[in-house]
A and B are shown apart, each in its own frame.
Chain A
Amino acid sequence: MNLPNVAPNWPAAIALLVLSLQFPAAHAGKTLDQIRQRGQLVCGVSTGVIGFSAADSQGRWNGLDVDVCRAIAAAVLNDANKVKYVPLNAQQRFTALQSGEVDLLSRNTTWTLTRDASLGLHFTAVTYYDGQGFLVPKKLKLGSARQLKNAEICVQSGTTTEKNLSDYFKAQGIKIKPVVFEKFEASIKAFFSGRCQAYTTDASALAFIRSKEAPKPDDYVVLPELISKEPLGPVVRRGDDEWFAIVKWVIFALIEAEEYGVTQANLEQMKAGSDPAIQRLLGSAEDSGKLLGLEREWAARAVKAVGNYGELFQRNVGSASPLKLPRGLNALWNKGGLMYAPPIR
């Protein structure tokens, strides 16, 4: 395990604060121009959440959130590799987006009213439906989160997690003690050393923590309750509706591609096919790119770069990944899930 980052992070926050002092940059419609001019999309990601955004040993970024950035770079710049990743912790992320340091925040961020309405930001679309759960040692023989009376629960700060935790147990009339850590590494080290009776975070991360971080995964079990709704998705700055639309529709295109069975592999065949909806999506019939200020093949390029939403899911968090998360809520709407894209026409 890496040692937690040594620098406390609020100096960074102050630096961001100072950044936000710069004179207002002209926004409207300018994000796309800026990206084209610098030939690079600047994407805010996490400092390391396996399956969503994490750098490997060679410094290459991988994950579902990273693939969203790549898809957008492919649609906008015709090159999925022209992305600069800026790792941001939970405290820095919104300031970095507000101040214009990043074009897009694609960093497992939960869509809530407070964030949508008071931070000068727009949530674009949901790329992963998550929920908060609990990991507990098997030897405590717990079957439900409601049995965690007077328990100490380890949690990492800087997320919606602490509030959900407090809300849930308050509603149940149960007292618990949160032990709040700033760094992920310290929080799980404390939990696995036995400091807390439970660990809480989003269910997607619990699966990873149990399989990769636990000394013996079989000694731990995830409780059945999900105590919150955590719709995660990319965020953009307010004041640039064109850019907002582009990010939204690239994500919709990935979902739509899965619905129509367009994959990375069969893309070229599909282009030549006869289904008008697919023709529209891939730009071989109408030019939907024109309306977004993009080139004709924007959606085809995005799918070519990262695959459709289903492929992206399987590769990063699904059965083809170490996390092995089930599709669950993240299946397409016509397969029992919630993934539904408005029609591209």
Chain B
Amino acid sequence: MQGRRRRELGIQALLAAALLAALWWLLDVTAGNMAERGIRSGFDFLRDPAGFAIGESLLPFDSADSTWWALAAGLANTLRVALPAILASTLLGTLIGLGRLSPNLLLRGLCAGYVETLRNIPLLLQLLAWYFVVTDLLPPASAALQLGPHVFLSKSGLALPWPGGDGGLLDLPLRGEFGIVGGAALTPEFLALLLGLSLYTAAYVAETVRGGIQSVPRGQSDAALALGMTRLQMFRLVLLPQALRSIIPPLTNQHLSLTKNASLAVAIGYPDLVSVANTTLNQTGRAAECIALIMAVYLMLSLLTAWLSAWLERRTGRWVERS
């Protein structure tokens, strides 16, 4: 046994070394070829000023700031849309998934219709449709709808009062020359992306939830009801804990795809990581470096999500055992 185990470890180490060597060789040949053709390479451009502006940013950003800060602002924008969309899609998806199991025929039909429509239309088309609907329907910025004191809605987005601003507790949006000035603005790009991602992913989440619940044998719910539990108790104490085990892993996949799908933001003008990296790529011509950066960041995001989900899985595992 001992010998076999050692042999297996040896083979694995050899494979890993071969993989690393192949990777090293690829990088070396690429760098060599690029140098020979007079193409500058390296990541030194990250310290240079970005030179371009970013339309909306969570992090304070100015075109004189460095390129890596621009990319960080892009990443912050990606997270700014991905995290709320993950929450919204999970909530909505769970409701729709439960709706598909409802005894009510109309509700079941509606939920099934939602799932089939939303997941069968490419996400990019949905995003563009949402975006153009949003921008076509809303009034121009010069004639913004006033929804409340200092809350305006227009083609420029939803303007809200926000803490901070120049000398004041609240930065209040006011009518300016072209539209609304000041406050925090949720742009149509952001709103369309958030809406599109949430609704699209919710369809997949719904199927995951439905499948998870249906995976619990019928006998379990029958037994619970026979013990005199109410339907709610049966669901909370018997069905859900068992269903969660098969729901969480595919749910993680949905959250991962949502984060990656957020890169479609470039199509509708939202300055996410890919959009900023694209612009950087164009200004600097460092194609290999920019693509590598995008890949590394998405890999890290995905690993982080997967790690979080594994942690959640362990916790629900313990919870299931207790209940």
A binding-site residues for B, Cβ under 8 Å? 3-4, 6, 8, 10, 13-14, 16-17, 20-24, 90-91, 94-95, 98, 114-115, 118-120, 140, 149-152, 154, 157-160, 162-163, 165-167, 170, 176-183, 186-187, 189-190, 193-195, 197, 237-239
Contact = CB atoms under 8 A, between A and B. Distances in A.
B267 interface: yes
B220 interface: no
A16 B136 CA distance: 37
A194 B155 contact: yes
29 contacts: A3-B128, A6-B125, A8-B274, A13-B287, A17-B288, A23-B33, A91-B282, A94-B285, A114-B283, A114-B285, A115-B285, A118-B285, A119-B285, A140-B178, A152-B141, A162-B52, A163-B51, A165-B52, A166-B63, A178-B54, A180-B275, A182-B267, A182-B275, A186-B269, A187-B269, A193-B135, A194-B141, A197-B179, A237-B37
A180 B287 CA distance: 19
Contacts of A90: 282
Contact of B36 (A24, A118, A119, A154): A24
Contact of B294 (A10, A150, A177, A181): A10
Contacts of B187: 179
Nearest to A10: B291
Given A8-B274, A193-B132, A239-B37, 4 more contacts: A17-B288, A166-B53, A177-B56, A181-B266
Contacts of A166: 51-53, 63
Interface of B: 26, 29-30, 32-34, 36-40, 51-56, 63-64, 122, 124-125, 128, 131-132, 135-136, 140-141, 155-156, 176-179, 181, 187-189, 263-264, 266-269, 271, 274-275, 278-279, 281-285, 287-288, 291, 294
B176 A150 contact: yes
Contact of B268 (A178, A186, A193): A186
A186 to B, nearest CB: 6
Interface of B (DSSP majority class): helix
Contact of B140 (A14, A170, A176, A194): A194
Contacts of B281: 13, 91
A89 to B, nearest CB: 10
Nearest to A6: B124
B263 A8 contact: yes
Contacts of A17: 30, 287-288, 291
A149 B177 contact: yes
A21 B288 CA distance: 11
A10 B274 contact: yes
Interface core residue of A24, A194, A237 (most chain B CB under 10 Å): A194
B215 to A, nearest CB: 35
Given A119-B40, A193-B136, A14 B278 contact: no
A11 to B, nearest CB: 10
A197 B135 CA distance: 13
Contacts of A182: 266-267, 275, 278
